[in-house]
Amino acid sequence: MGLQIDISAITANYQALAAKAPGARAAAVVKADAYGLGAARIVPALYQAGARDFFVALASEGRTIRPLIPADATINVLSGHMEGEDLTGLVPVVNSPEQFFRDRAMRPGKPFAIQLDTGMNRLGMEASEWAAIRAEALAAGPAFIMSHLACADEPDHPANAAQLAAFRKMTEGCKVPRSLAATGGILLGPEYHFDMVRAGIGMYGGLPYADARPVATLSLRVIQTRDVKAGEMVGYGATWHAERDSRIATVDAGYADGILRALSGTGAQLYAGDVACPIVGRVSMDLITVDVTGLGTVPPTLDLICAHQPIDRLADLAGTIGYEILTALRQRYQRTYS
């Protein structure tokens, strides 16, 4: 089984998103091992493509990529300053007064940033917390102030305008660079862009950036094929029975490799070139069974993620989002980069 990753498509998507916010710095979000595709290869390529600001979720992720890019690149840690964490060479995005005071006590003079909660109620200082420490926090010289939109993938959702207004109110007169927009926010338009935008899922070929170049192809090896007579079952639970004499191929991946079990019985398919081959029976731990009756010759590999079935199509079938499809991919895949 092999995961082919087109780094040139990732950098092209990054540059295209950056071009949509010409007045802002374009940061690259590379958390979760660059959304499961391999930060060690992708981060240096993004640096070469012009990215100088990177975002990770955890300090451990930041420490992993810090040696890969020059010192003029900034690595921001969205979980902030967690107790006992090594933040050498990193910039914590502090999320609470507690984190702010811890960071200033332990890292005086070192760079930090601030996250505000503008209504998502996930991370960041609420308005009352921010008001209480605003003067002291601004005097300490944060690198930037950010927030995060909850509904940016729905352009008409009223939460977008409400969060924008809250962010403007909370940061009025701060004279500090500001950042509100990730991929969805970039697409909402200039009023959301401020001084820095954060390209994330759109770089990796996912919605809501519909114009993104495809980034990943996932090919699964055919282990075995067999003839199944009409009425015979295939897979755990006997959930699928052949309606006609069929040819069934078994491929070498399953939910242990991040192919969601929820894809069972949904109409998900593997592709032999342009020919669709339905998944039949349940996705099991290491194996998937596929109806290849329509193929004259069964090729050595069949594609699950490809131009005909991109990550968001799979996500729709599984009742999830493209982010989960990518980040679920496990390390058993042999990765090749182009």
Which residue ranges does the chain devote to CATH 2.40.37.10?
Answer: 216-337
Tell me the C-alpha distance between 310 and 111, whole Å: 39
Count of alpha carbons within 13 angstroms of residue 182, beta-carbon side: 18
Contact 233, 67 (CB under 8 A): no
**pLDDT value of position 28:** 98
Residues 218-238, mean pLDDT to the nearest whole number = 97
Quote the pTM value.
Answer: 0.94
Kind and range of the H or E run holding 279:
strand 275-280
Residue 330 pLDDT class (50, 70, 90 cuts) = confident
Q: Quote the mean pLDDT of the chain.
A: 97
Q: Superfamily assignment of 216-337 in CATH?
A: Lyase, Ornithine Decarboxylase; Chain A, domain 1 (2.40.37.10)
The residue count for the chain: 338
Strands 240-241 and 196-199: unpaired
Exposure of 205 by Cβ count < 10 A (0-12 exposed, 13-18 middle, 19+ buried)? buried
Spell 159-179 as b/e; 16+ CB within 10 A means b. ebeebbebbeebbeeeebbbb
Which residue ranges does the chain devote to CATH 3.20.20.10?
Answer: 7-204
Give percent of the chain above pLDDT 90: 99
User: Does position 331 have pLDDT exceeding 90, yes or no?
Assistant: no
Cα dist from 328 to 201, 256, 303, whole Å: 14, 9, 17
pLDDT tens digits for 70-92?
999 999 999 999 999 999 999 99
Known catalytic residue: 236?
A: yes
Tell me the C-alpha distance between 274 and 251, whole Å: 18
**pLDDT value of position 248:** 98
User: Does position 1 have pLDDT exceeding 80, yes or no?
Assistant: no
Given the residues 14, 20, 31, 323, the one annotated as active site: 31
pLDDT tens digits for 9-55?
999 999 999 999 999 999 999 999 999 999 999 999 999 999 999 99
Region 7-204: CATH code: 3.20.20.10
Q: Which of 304, 309, 302 is nearest to 205 (CA)?
A: 309
**pLDDT value of position 81:** 98
User: What are the DSSP calls for 89-128, one per residue?
Assistant: T-EEEE-SHHHHHHHHHHSTTS--EEEB-SS--SSSB-HH
Q: In the chain, which residue ranges form alpha helices assigned H by DSSP?
A: 7-19, 31-35, 39-48, 59-65, 97-106, 127-139, 158-171, 183-188, 311-318, 322-327
